Amino acid sequence: NEIGSIEAGKKADLVLLDLDKPDQPLNNFDESVYSKIVYSTNKESVKHVLIDGDIIASNGICNIYDEQKLIYEGREELQKLIQRS
C-alpha cells in the first residue's frame, strides 16, 4: 500500500508549516494547533509542500511551475474575459 502512513517509499501529500514565528504566538497553552493553523498562519508560514512525496514548493519557491509565465498567461486570459464582456 502506497498511502495511509508517512513512511519511506510511500506517497504523501503534506504541507509543512513553521508555527514558531513571533507573529503566531499561542494565546494560551490550551489553544488547539488546528485553531492556530486556521486563524494565525499565512503564506509565509508554509515552508514546504509535497505532493505524492515530491517536493513541489520549498521556502516560498515553486519547483514545478514558472511563476512569471503563469502570471503572464493569467493576465492574457483575464484580458480575453474582459474583451468578451
Count of structural domains, the chain: 1
pLDDT for the residue numbered 42: 86
pLDDT tens digits for 11-28?
Answer: 889 999 988 777 666 655
CATH number of 34's domain: 2.30.40.10
Q: What stretches in the chain show pLDDT beneath 50?
A: none
Query: For residue 5, is it within any domain?
Result: no
Is 6 within the bounds of a domain? no
Identify the pLDDT of residue 29: 61
Helix (H, G, I), strand (E, B) or coil at 45: helix
Rounded to whole angstroms, the Cα distance separating 83 from 70 reads 20
Residue 4, domain member (yes or no) = no
Residue with cell 521556502: 59
Residue 23 corresponds to which cell in the numbers above?
A: 507573529
In a domain, 75, yes or no: yes
Give the chain's end-to-end CA distance (angstroms, integer): 50
Range of the domain at 76: 14-84
pTM (two decimals): 0.64
